[in-house]
Amino acid sequence: MLQNNSVYQKDSDEDTKTSVVKDFLALIKIGIINSNLITATTGIWLALYYNDLKLFDNLDKVIFAIVGTWLVIGGAGSLNNFIDRDIDVKMSRTKKRPTVSGNFSPAFALTIGLGFVTIGALFLFQTTFVSGLIGLFGVFAYVILYTVWSKRRFTLNTVVGSISGAVPPLIGWAAIDGNLHTAAWILFLIMFIWQIPHFLALAMRRTEEYRAANIPMLPVVHGFAMTKRQIIVWIVCLFPLPFYLSELGIPFLVLATILNIGWLALGIIGYKSMDDIKWANRMFIFSLNYLTIMFVSMIIFTLI
């Protein structure tokens, strides 16, 4: 399974094991897994809350949902690395991935991807049929609709890719309640819309890399001015969504509105006065904090 084992010739076996672990975590995209588990867990928790169910009475479903979500996302990440290894070599952000360096063979990446997705889906199907089905759809959306079909062809690849990134809270909710409440779809919409300004800001920061890899990201094809306008428009689209979660209480609505106004204000204030890349950096960093605060607060406000 492993290639170029000489790269692991460190001073000790411990260093070798550490390098293998790091490469494996990069293969399954552990950062993406962790961030998506936050939203999936929020989906699980709110499904319990909205249906007045007890955590310990549904602990088996919660565990199956978390493990299953972890595995299907990791599997999709490995399949993405398998498919994109020819363009990952052209970008500094991705050129050290194990499928590019040769530390893991393409066959290994493909095996891990298919294996994780299969096992993860089986875990999800142990909760509800709907959860398993949504999990498989998320993989299809990420691997086929985004990675294979749209990423190298259209500037709308960011929008297409956001579909799969918005699925985890639906997976979590459906694991508890297969009859998806309106609130579950609001979580999906928040995640879907949030990703677009988030990834457009990232694309601005990495424009030259995407250009070198011939990936038609919006700032590569249409420039920074249009990308910045698109970011602002998508942020505005987030404003009404928290009000559909009014059952979480006034404090949540106030916090969510402050986050939305803060992100918009940050974008408008530096829109013309700030260097484009510096503006994109600030918008990107704020987006990370936005997501964490928004979804963690949904859980916290149900406990107060």
Give how many domains the chain has, as a whole number. 1
Give DSSP secondary structure letters for 262-273. HHHHHHHHTTTT
Residue 172's contacts (CB-CB under 8 Å, 6 or more residues apart) are 39, 40, 41, 42, 43, 44, 45, 47, 65, 69, 131
CATH number at residue 259: 1.10.600
Residue 10 lies in a domain: no
Residue 5 lies in a domain: no
Residue 156 lies in a domain: yes
Residue 2 lies in a domain: no
Residue 213 lies in a domain: yes
Residue 1 lies in a domain: no
pTM, 2 dp: 0.92
pLDDT at 5: 34
Reading the chain (304 residues) residue by residue, the pLDDT tens digits are 333 333 333 444 555 555 899 999 999 999 999 999 999 999 999 999 999 999 999 999 999 999 999 999 999 999 999 999 999 998 888 888 999 999 999 999 999 999 999 999 999 999 999 999 999 999 999 999 999 999 999 999 999 999 999 999 999 999 999 999 999 999 999 999 999 999 999 999 999 999 999 999 999 999 999 999 999 999 999 999 999 999 999 999 999 999 999 999 999 998 988 899 999 999 999 999 999 999 999 999 999 8
Residue 42 lies in a domain: yes
Does residue 286 contact residue 262 with C-beta atoms inside 8 Å?
A: yes
What domain range is 139 assigned to?
A: 15-303
**Alpha-helix residue ranges (DSSP H) falling in the chain:** 13-27, 30-50, 59-88, 98-101, 106-125, 129-140, 157-165, 168-176, 182-205, 207-212, 218-238, 250-269, 276-303
Distances (CA, A) of 62 to 138, 168, 217, 218, 295: 19, 13, 37, 38, 17
Residue 43 lies in a domain: yes
